[in-house]
Chains A and B, each alone.
Chain A
């Protein structure tokens, strides 16, 4: 079984992120005013402190993992089926994120519901179609009519407006 030192990877993530914050994100992403009265009042002071702390924490975690080769948690590699399922969920989530502005919430969520329920093992078509049709429309109506929050309907806008 393939095992990974997850503590090492976690430490590397913190160290990497801390370094990126200090040397890349702060210089590029923080607009410094021309004159700062006190160093501690600078907009970058607090994020820099956090970046340094994060990098240090990451380094300590990595050092401890390297030093103590027996310790640390290990991560069992998931089987192929699980990998495919999780990969499919990520694809569905990404597709939902991309399709929402164009296809609207009702259509996108209905399709996502069908796919996620099938992926989860639900096989009853009545349940799948029933929920996929009613839930997004009910939520659309609740937010639109009761809470006065207009939900983008996308391509279904002409039809949903009539409800």
Chain B
């Protein structure tokens, strides 16, 4: 019997007794991520990046 290459191993191949989560539930999660979390994170990171860049010349003695 041919063995699967290591990279082809999926989580259920290494941990038994797992049940695939209903894709609709996964979609609910990813929708929150796409619509709420990610846009806010991107906005916050950009704001901080600009703030940090503007303070690079701040003197410390």
Partners in one complex: no
